[in-house]
Amino acid sequence: MTTAVLITGASSGIGRASAERLAKRPGFTVYATARRPEAIADLAAAGAKVLALDVTDEDSMAAAVDAVQEQHGSVGVLVNNAGYGEYGTIEETGMDAVRRQFETNVFGFSRMIQLVLPGMRAAGSGRIVNIGSMGGRVTFPVGGYYHATKYAVEAITDALRFEAAPFGVRATVIEPGLIRTGFGATAARTMAASGEPSGPYAGLRAAADEQMTTAYASAVLAAEPDAVAKAVERAATARRPRARYTITPAAKTIIHSRRLLGSGIFDTYLRLQFRSTK
């Protein structure tokens, strides 16, 4: 009997790369999901099964999990990937935008875990691979609300890892650094729309946009989605998966530096990076 892998947010980026990689692995039946199934129809040719799943819709989430459990008894591996970055300053970002981001990145993410766990417990095994971010360990300006959602992913995964272990369920968080997906474009678009062009944070937003554009274009700082997919595969198949997999050398360096430097020195570093701030 094959292991059923359910992947959320598989229409692009990390989710798509994970579906393509795991579909090639013997013993796995991959269920790739997206809000619009037509956006992932081509993944069927790669060996995946395609389902509709919107992590902001309870019926949609329950139906997808039920479909997998009907065929396999339980979800063997949940790759909890759906999410996006809504950028803007703390003062300027509208609360409706903040709520939408938490609905996807935290509440839908959490509900998927709740839906698959009963089947995993009954089976006595399972893997939950949560896609977090370097941004769940370190915070940059103009991304505070996004970072808050990823700090939540870290906390939920840490609690889950302990709670689910007695039932044979392993939980892991993947912490990507800069990955060349549509994330950067979405972050830039929402940041530009979050405040007035001549507003009090215009200089800061311009500096953040410049930093983001430069970093994503860097061959040293950014990586392709398959770098994350490889870690997802390890977390799904290792006999003893790590609690965390941090992706890209730059992400590891930044997290380690933030821990060593403390808030004061790290803030000085940020002021240098965002020196066009008014």
pLDDT in tens, 156-211: 999 999 999 999 999 999 999 999 988 777 777 788 777 888 889 999 988 888 88
Q: Is the pLDDT of residue 277 over 50?
A: no
Q: Which residues are known catalytic residues?
A: 146
| Structural domains of the chain sorted by starting position, each given as residue range(s) with its CATH number in brackets | 3-85+94-180+224-248 (3.40.50.720)
| Of 198 and 142, more confident | 142
Cα(78)–Cα(129) distance, rounded to whole angstroms?
6
Q: Is residue 176 a contact partner of residue 228, using CB atoms and an 8 Å limit?
A: yes
- Average pLDDT of every residue of the chain: 94
Q: Is residue 245 a contact partner of residue 175, using CB atoms and an 8 Å limit?
A: yes
β-bridge partners, 11 = none
Q: Is the pLDDT of residue 218 over 90?
A: no
Q: Is the pLDDT of residue 108 over 70?
A: yes
Structural tokens at position 97: 């935008």
Res 214: pLDDT: 87
Evaluate the CA torsion angle 93, 94, 97, 103 in order and state its sign: positive
Res 208: pLDDT: 87
DSSP per residue over 113-180, as a string? HHHHHHHHHHHT-EEEEEE--GGGTS--TT-HHHHHHHHHHHHHHHHHHHHHGGGTEEEEEEEE-EES
Structural tokens at position 201: 């944070």
Residue with tokens 């393509």: 20
Q: What percent of the chain has pLDDT over 90?
A: 81
Amino acid letter, residue 16:
R
pLDDT tens digits, 240-264 = 999 999 999 999 999 999 999 899 9
